[in-house]
Structure 1
Amino acid sequence: MPFCELSDGARIWYEEAGNRSAPPLVFSNSLGTNLAMWDAQVDEAEADFRVIRYDQRGHGRSPVPAEAFSMERLGQDVVELLDLLKIEKTDFCGLSMGGMTGIVVARDHPARFGKLALCNTSAHMPPADLWNERIKAVTENGMEALVGGITERWFTAGFRRDHPDEVERIAEQIRATEPAGYAGCSAAIRDMDLRPTLSSIRADVLVLIGDSDPSTPPQDGELIADNIAGARKEIVHAAHLSAVESPAEFNRAVFSYFREN
């Protein structure tokens, strides 16, 4: 079974696609989804890359760990997955929480990562009370209590109207997320402030911004791009889950970046 056993006793589920001899590319999912959020990207990426995607802790098939964890631990999870797969260096694409994970690995493990696409993400997401309220809501009432509000933030009104099947596909991923897994990752985001160390990152970075994203609004992406030397920036017409809402535009921006020499 494709689980990666981690050094702190947790496990994460991963899947591979594409050519094993091609350059590796890791995809890291958002809070409240699982690795299937990347289906439209894998369909294109597997022709040119060794695609590795995984479920963040407490999401998808990855069990909820017993102990609390930090964003730094989520970054370490990726590194330990690379160790298991004997991959010395990889490119990386993460969205929202996955993008936060990308900031951490670019900062803490620069030798293991080449290009990184940090999509619809932020280096800091206050206020803490908002996260505490979400943690309380899912702990007491389950994930269904948040589904409507999340999908409204994640997709524009036009997309929700015209693509209800896709919205429902993501809604099902949210419902299927273990409340304790969502709560644990929410606490890691609540306690995260990566802003002071952005300027230490020397990686080749693309920051992708959704022009209608209320969850990690454009100014959050601008701050990341402005503080990482040489970072590039792309704007896509989408709300928060741009890889799902605007897959053609997302893929064009991200894969043209990864395919550059």
Structure 2
Amino acid sequence: MTSEVAGLAPVSRDREIASFDGTKLFVQEYGPEDAPLLVFSHGWACQGRFWRPQIEHFAPNHRVVVYDQRGHGWSDRGRVPFSASLLADDLESVLRAVATPSQKAIVVGHSMGGMSVMSWAGEHPDSVSELARGAMLASTGPADLVSRSTLVKAPRRLRVRAERAFAAGLSVVGPEMPDTRLSRVLIRYGTLGPQASAAVVDECADIVLRCPPQVRGMWGGVLATIDVSRGVDALSVPVTVIVGGSDRLTPTGHSVDLALRLATRGLLHEMVRVAGAGHMVNLECTHEFNNALERLGSAV
């Protein structure tokens, strides 16, 4: 098995971790084993290589762990129906394998990965304080993803119908997305901001187009109705919330609501809105993203 991002950091270690049901999750580790621990959870239709800019930046002085969500990348699909609780259990399995009470992690989740973090907190609340020292929720929201998305614009009289069509479209299994100019235009519109460079568009498209259509559809069906709101109140560590100002998939309103909810409990470390960035804020505005994560790491 060959790492997609091997060689980008001083140390690269690939391993498989069994989740609670025996499903094998592919995990990559970079950096010194005794360094501060960062665990990254990617979003829908992506894989561990999505975190390339963070691996390159943090691995020299951090222990960086990325994993492929179930069915994505090199991770097995398993036989258990996909669900929000499955996201939680898979993240719990990864954290139990790499973190300890003496080496706690900052857990970073993007989009569906952020929902994984919130679901994990809701399903395994005792693990939060035991295994984590901070969290970053990037381009994500706990619920109402379809109704609050600005991907599909329609007159008010047609909005409900458009939302139903959008939700149904998320769960479509297949077809395979060909690598064409049209597919890249659609990926750019849906996931990136207007200032994204051609290199970022190419990298993002290459990642998304690798996702198996069955996996895309099955997880899309989960996202259409997901609600991990109770996990927000189960987070018990400082949290940074970051979002692109031009995010159409999870618009800034989600992040504002998350920040306010965390602030009322004294857990909001920072709310960062990156002007011009779309959904893939860590790829588009690497400097701003990495700086926000460094500030969180210094504080906790």
Instruction: Give the TM-score normalised by structure 2.
Output: 0.79
Report the Cα offset of residue 215 of structure 1: 0.9
The separation in 1 between residues aligned to 2:231 and 2:33, in whole angstroms, is 34
The separation in 1 between residues aligned to 2:95 and 2:195, in whole angstroms, is 39
In the alignment, what sits opposite 1:259?
298
In the alignment, what sits opposite 2:219?
185
In the alignment, what sits opposite 1:175?
209
How many aligned positions are there?
256
1:233 and 2:267 correspond: no
CA 195–201 in structure 1, closer or farther in 2 if over 3 Å, else same:
same
The separation in 1 between residues aligned to 2:99 and 2:132, in whole angstroms, is 14
Any gaps of 5 or more consecutive residues in structure 1?
none
Q: Deviations over 1:154-211 (max 9, x none)?
A: 112231xxx2222112111111111122122222222311235533432211111211
1:26 and 2:39 correspond: yes
Identity fraction in percent = 23
In the alignment, what sits opposite 1:102?
117
The separation in 1 between residues aligned to 2:134 and 2:119, in whole angstroms, is 14
> Conserved in 2, the CA contact under 8 Å of 1:105 and 1:113?
no
The separation in 2 between residues aligned to 1:39 and 1:170, in whole angstroms, is 11
More helix by share: 1
Structure 2: which amino acid aligns with 1:235? R
> Conserved in 1, the CA contact under 8 Å of 2:20 and 2:89?
no
Any gaps of 5 or more consecutive residues in structure 2?
1-13, 148-162
Aligned with 2:249 (options 215, 231, 239): 215
> Conserved in 2, the CA contact under 8 Å of 1:57 and 1:185?
no
Report the Cα offset of residue 67 of structure 1: 2.8
Structure 1 runs of 4+ with >6 Å offset: none
Report the Cα offset of residue 53 of structure 1: 0.3
> Conserved in 2, the CA contact under 8 Å of 1:143 and 1:174?
no
Moved more, 10-19 or 99-108: 99-108
CA-atom RMSD in angstroms: 2.0
SS at match of 2:239: strand
Report the Cα offset of residue 146 of structure 1: 6.2
Structure 1: which amino acid aligns with 2:278? A
SS at match of 1:207: strand
Structure 1: which amino acid aligns with 2:57? E
The separation in 2 between residues aligned to 1:100 and 1:10, in whole angstroms, is 20
Instruction: Give the TM-score normalised by structure 1.
Output: 0.90
The separation in 2 between residues aligned to 1:146 and 1:32, in whole angstroms, is 14
1:158 and 2:185 correspond: no
1:224 and 2:258 correspond: yes
SS at match of 2:246: coil
> Conserved in 2, the CA contact under 8 Å of 1:94 and 1:100?
yes
CA 208–175 in structure 1, closer or farther in 2 if over 3 Å, else same:
same
CA 196–260 in structure 1, closer or farther in 2 if over 3 Å, else same:
closer
Structure 2: which amino acid aligns with 1:234? V
The separation in 2 between residues aligned to 1:15 and 1:246, in whole angstroms, is 23
Moved more, 192-201 or 16-25: 192-201
In the alignment, what sits opposite 1:114?
133
